[in-house]
């Protein structure tokens, strides 16, 4: 069998995480709501 020495491999890291945090998501939702209010009128939000 081949020598399965893996000590020369780089250490494993976790999968990349999303670059968006909770603060950015909340800000994006707020911008979305304001944009919809402007586009469709404020009364549409009251439904």
pLDDT 10s digits, 14-32: 877 777 788 889 999 999 9
Query: CA-CA distance, 28 to 20, in Å (whole number)?
Result: 10
Q: Give me the mean pLDDT over the 2-14 stretch.
A: 65
- What is the per-residue pLDDT for 12? 78
- What is the per-residue pLDDT for 13? 81
Q: Specify the higher pLDDT residue, 19 or 1.
A: 19
pTM of the entire structure? 0.50
Q: Where are the domains of the chain?
A: 22-47
Query: CA-CA distance, 34 to 45, in Å (whole number)?
Result: 10
- What is the per-residue pLDDT for 47? 59
Tokens representing residue 28 in the block: 């994006």
């Amino acid at each position: 069998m081949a020598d399965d020495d893996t000590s020369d491999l780089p250490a494993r890291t976790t999968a990349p995480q999303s670059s968006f945090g909770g603060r950015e998501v909340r800000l994006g939702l707020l911008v979305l709501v304001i944009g919809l209010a402007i586009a469709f009128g404020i009364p549409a939000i009251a439904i």
